[in-house]
Amino acid sequence: MDALADLNLFELPEQQTKISSKVSKALKENPDIRLGFDHCCTCATPLTLSDKSDKTCKACKRVWYCSKECRRQDGEAVLNDEDQASGHSAVMCHLLRLCEIDELVEDPKSTHQSISKEDKKASIDRINSEFESYPATLNVLMDAPCFQPVLTCPKEQKQCPSNGLEDKEGKLRTLTIHIIGATEEAELWGDFKLSHESCRNAGDAYSEALAELASTYSSIHTINLIFVGPSCPEKNRHDVKIIQKGNLNVDGKKRKREDTCELILQTHQSDYDTASLKELPKPDFYVFFNPGFTCPDYNWSIALDVCIQQNLSRRVPFLVTTNTEMEAISDLQYLHQRGYIDDLPATVADIVQDGILEHDKDIVDYNDKHDMFFGENPNSGARVRQSGNMANDLFVKNRWIYGGLFSVITSEAGSNVKKINASSSPKKMKKQNNVQDSKVKTKKKKIIKKNKNSALM
């Protein structure tokens, strides 16, 4: 991302809120504490935000403290300790200022008077890149070897034809993708495009992003993108776009394709359950954008059970994005422990076992022996966001990806999955997640160069 390159960073500093023993004790007593928001970011003292003694960072105005001393301590440089969070460093402050600008630009009620034209343009580019990351991420469907059988051979055919996705009579076929838990504001871009002319239509972006897939697998005649979720538009949509199949490089030779592929975008405002599926065609792929499987505010057991139970005889491919690496690891543990996947990706298995985040984050290992993959999403956007619970933690939407094949579960095993899910109340899940997070957090990789605290103050 340009913002990180300008700051001379190797990668995004995701978890940088300092956790002292005092803060750790406070979090154990009250897991709902929001450090830097309603409690002091340094010592976890409750804040009223109306008391004159409460202090905020004057530069970014995004982190709160109970005193100037706590503000000073949080900004102190951390030297010679690769595992220690950096706190509210100069780099962190600068990135949080970008968060503030982006929120102002995105707010239709804001006049933007305090933002320069250059900063506003850069902000709109960052916001657009976040929206564009949703359709762009679907290109991962072409990259994973475990997805190729679905793209090159229809599920009802025993032998794959040589020319791609055809049915038994050699006719062209439809590729159906269910995007589960979709929202109008995220996957469908919400109202932002209505107030900013520079943001193009979401349907055009999905059409452009899927053009290479349509051209590569020439038998695909129709791609059916079905967005399902209670936060989808109230009125179900059915939009049709035409994808022009361009030049395709095959064996070093370019050949021109004049044919087209129809892209159908449908929305269904409903939960992903047995009742809603009666109206939907069976999927070839499941996609989840930032689902929050381990978030205690959500219950994904019904939707995941449906994904398994409607495909008892085959392992259906799935793709998931998350905002942070830790969230991806926790999600994978959740799916594995509940029997939705047979194995963890090798990299994640090592992390869970050793508690070490030392791995090559620039490369997604698609050749995992368990038909699973995990890594940093090359199609994520450039917009940095602030965590809502820890003020010095940052994330980028869709920055991490994982996927593979769901388990094949018999009816008896399916009932066991239901029992596991039913026994996991939100409070129990939250405790389990905290245990998982503590294991993963045993070591942190240093992700900012040593001169980070001397820049941009």
With a pLDDT cut of 70, the percent of the chain lying above it is: 71
Q: Are residues 270 and 202 both part of a single domain?
A: yes
- Asked if residue 390 belongs to a domain, the reply is yes
Residue 443, pLDDT > 70, answer no
- Asked if residue 23 belongs to a domain, the reply is yes
The count of domains in the chain is 2
Residue 214 phi, psi dihedral angles, 5° rounding: -65, -35
Query: pLDDT tens-digit profile of 7-65?
Result: 556 667 788 899 999 999 999 999 999 999 999 999 999 998 776 567 889 899 999 99
Q: Are residues 98 and 144 both part of a single domain?
A: no
Helix, strand, or coil (residue 385): strand
Q: Who has greater pLDDT, 273 or 109?
A: 273
**What's the whole-number average pLDDT of the chain?**
79
- Asked if residue 368 belongs to a domain, the reply is yes
Q: In angstroms, how far apart are the furthest CA atoms of the chain?
A: 76
What is the predicted pLDDT for the residue at 191? 59
DSSP string, 110-174: ---TTS-HHHHHHHHHHHHHHHHHHHHHGGGGGT-GGGHHHHHS-TT-SS--TTSSB-TTS-BEE
Q: Are residues 87 and 130 both part of a single domain?
A: no
Query: pLDDT tens-digit profile of 369-402?
Result: 668 999 999 999 999 999 999 999 999 999 999 9
Residues 69-73, mean pLDDT to the nearest whole number: 93
- Residue 162 CA, chain-centre distance (Å), reads 35
3-state secondary structure 295-341: CCCCCCHHHHHHHHHCCCCCCCEEEEEECCHHHHHHHHHHHHHCCCC
Sorted by sequence, the CB contacts under 8 Å of residue 335 that are 6+ apart come out as 293, 304, 341
Q: What's the rounded Cα separation, in Å, for the pair 241 and 154?
A: 23
The CATH number given to whatever domain includes residue 216 is 3.40.50
Q: Are residues 364 and 223 both part of a single domain?
A: yes
- Asked if residue 392 belongs to a domain, the reply is yes
Sorted by sequence, the CB contacts under 8 Å of residue 35 that are 6+ apart come out as 17, 23, 41, 44, 389, 390, 391, 392
- Asked if residue 455 belongs to a domain, the reply is no
Q: Are residues 109 and 145 both part of a single domain?
A: no
Other residues' Cβ atoms within 10 Å of the Cβ of residue 444: 18
pTM of the model: 0.82
What is the predicted pLDDT for the residue at 366? 65
What is the predicted pLDDT for the residue at 275? 86
Query: pLDDT tens-digit profile of 274-324?
Result: 888 888 898 999 999 999 999 888 899 999 999 988 776 778 899 999 999
User: The tokens 């003292």 sit on which residue?
Assistant: 45
What tokens were used for 93? 């402050």
Query: pLDDT tens-digit profile of 226-252?
Result: 999 999 998 898 999 999 876 555 555
Residue 209, pLDDT > 80, answer yes
- Asked if residue 454 belongs to a domain, the reply is no
Q: Who has greater pLDDT, 150 or 197?
A: 150
Helix, strand, coil: what percent of the chain each, to 5? 35, 15, 50
Helix (H) or strand (E) holding 209: helix 202-209
- Of 88-92, 190-194, 331-335, the least confident: 190-194
Q: Are residues 104 and 149 both part of a single domain?
A: no
What is the predicted pLDDT for the residue at 265? 94
Query: pLDDT tens-digit profile of 344-372?
Result: 998 888 888 765 555 555 557 666 566 89
Q: What's the rounded Cα separation, in Å, for the pair 99 and 57?
A: 14
What is the predicted pLDDT for the residue at 428? 37
- Asked if residue 266 belongs to a domain, the reply is yes
pLDDT range class, residue 410, cuts 50, 70, 90: low
Q: Who has greater pLDDT, 201 or 137?
A: 137
Q: Which of 361, 323, 379 is nearest to 15 (CA)?
A: 323
Q: What's the rounded Cα separation, in Å, for the pair 49 and 334?
A: 37
Q: Are residues 71 and 186 both part of a single domain?
A: no
DSSP secondary-structure letter at 359? S
What tokens were used for 140? 């991962």
Q: Are residues 320 and 342 both part of a single domain?
A: yes
Structural domain of residue 7, as residue ranges?
3-115
Q: Are residues 87 and 186 both part of a single domain?
A: no
Q: Are residues 94 and 130 both part of a single domain?
A: no
Residues 417-441, mean pLDDT to the nearest whole number: 41
What is the predicted pLDDT for the residue at 421? 45
- Of 148-157, 210-219, 237-246, 268-277, the least confident: 148-157
Residue 132, pLDDT > 70, answer yes
Q: Are residues 110 and 143 both part of a single domain?
A: no
What is the predicted pLDDT for the residue at 279? 83
Q: Are residues 216 and 316 both part of a single domain?
A: yes
With a pLDDT cut of 90, the percent of the chain lying above it is: 47
**188 burial type by CB count under 10 A (0-12 exposed, 13-18 middle, 19+ buried):** buried
- Asked if residue 423 belongs to a domain, the reply is no
Sorted by sequence, the CB contacts under 8 Å of residue 455 that are 6+ apart come out as 7, 8, 90, 91, 94
What is the predicted pLDDT for the residue at 271? 94
Residue 217, pLDDT > 80, answer yes
Rg (CA), the chain: 23
